Amino acid sequence: MASVVVEKHGRTYRLPTGLFIANQFVPATSGRTFKTIDPSTGGVITEVHEASAVDVDIAVQAATQALSVWQNILASERAKYLWKLADLIEQHKQELAELESLDNGKTVKDALGDVDGIIEVYRYFAGWTDKLAGQTLDIDPDMHAYTRIQPLGVIGQIIPWNYPLSMQAWKLAPALACGNTVVMKTSEKTPLSGLKLCELIVAAGFPAGVVNVLSGFGDTCGAAIARHPKIAKVAFTGSTAVGKKIMQMAAESNLKKVGLELGGKSPNIVYPDADLDKAVSDCHDGIFDNMGQNCCAGSRVYVHEKIHDEFVDKFIAKLSANKVGNPRDPETTHGPVVDQLQFDNVMKFIHLGKAEGAKLMHGGRRIGTAGFFIEPTLFTDVKPDMRIYKEEIFGPVVCVVKFSTEEDVLALANDTEYGLAAAVHTNDLKRAVRMEKALQAGSVWINCYNLTWPQLPFGGFKQSGIGRELGEYGLREYTRKYAIQQNVQVDSELTGAQR
């Protein structure tokens, strides 16, 4: 087994570093490794093996061989594997959360919440394994017509670095519940928690080859997954720019099915009749959870002119109470961004906002000299043509914009290439219904923000992606549907339309 023992921040961890193929951690065929970085210090945690196209092909072979085993297990038995995995995650919750924090930078407290969430995801989809049913259709007395639901086969999955364990669960659980096998690429920025979970997959008894997890880079490992002719579907979460490349590669290879959960620039709209303190809290958490590194971050906050100034004052007070620092400190509210590249990109947008004439009301500076810490940042007087208003920053930066009418704010909120999420804060039920129907977003929250549940589908419109994750809608993304017609007429000729 390719693994190392590392000591970080007073804790000792045994970390698998190999490629997880057919229930074994193996070295990359090239022998190449790459470093993974602690965002709180900028120092190296360890090195992991780097998958190439050759390794992807080996993993696909293992997943293909495992299909016959996994699909011939009783559906109710597949559920037991997923339940067992959820139980093991619960037993190893603290260690997984600490590794997530170490590699990603989020607070341990937030990572523990993420782990609680993935336990529920695995258990929810475990309940679906024996409930995937087709339809019997009453078309003609002489015909028995029905549909049948089957798994797609080998699934390629590419997950991001902002919620490594959550995104792994959102993709693995429904694919496995349907009877597929998986080749997954984790982010090169955050490979450690996903590899650690693979130890639990082995402990849960999953047959070899059902789950294969590779560490690597997008232009090699990710591209090989997107182009592989034996992969039936590729599911990707990440930027819109990369999603377009994934879609093109899938089309140029075997026209495989594609699922894309991409970027966002989500609006958060606050009316005068809202509970103002709660709206401030929801808008704050909606952008600054995970240091703004969230595809559905509410980075455009629209506040009615009657309450705009009071809202901004309360928002600044909320920001001033934050504690940015050591993610292992229980008092810390915000950790660092994930790496130097992300840090530089966020700081670039902060400088752009000031240069374009937006008013910096809070934050905007680096904290300390080690690690990648940025003060949560608030801009007002933001205009629709400014880049901080239009572009996804993926960091702790929010724009607060004043509005006067419902028509105006709807036009502003929908004037974007994205359509992932939105929220409305109001106690007027009729207005809430009007708004949720008019907002062009896959998820709309009313008097809350950024709540996701295993039972509810998640995904966007426009350039925020294709398809859905979670819920029954997300499950069926991993199936193919057959239509069967059986002639049950015995003695007489068929009549009517051609059958």
Name the residue type at position 191. P
Residue 95 annotated to the active site = no
237 φψ region: left (φ > 0), alpha (ψ -120 to 50), beta (else): beta
Q: What would the DSSP string read from start to end of 219-267?
A: IIIIHHHHH-TT-SEEEEES-HHHHHHHHHHHHHTT--EEEEE-----E
What's the burial of 266, exposed, middle or buried (CB within 10 Å: 0-12/13-18/19+)?
buried
Residue 391 annotated to the active site = no
- Rounded to 10°, the helix 164-177/108-126 angle is 0
Catalytic pick from 50, 261, 469, 477?
Answer: 261
Q: Which residues of 10-40 are buried (b: 16+ CB within 10 A; e: fewer)?
A: eeebebbbbbbbbbebbebeeeebeebbbbb
DSSP 50: P
SS3 assignment, position 275: coil
Q: What would the DSSP string read from start to end of 315-358?
A: HHHHHHT--BS-TTSTT-SB---SSHHHHHHHHHHHHHHHHTT-
What's the burial of 49, exposed, middle or buried (CB within 10 Å: 0-12/13-18/19+)?
buried
DSSP 289: G
Catalytic pick from 283, 295, 296, 399?
Answer: 295
Backbone dihedral angles phi then psi of residue 98, each to the nearest 5 degrees: -65, -40
Provide the annotated active-site residues.
261, 295
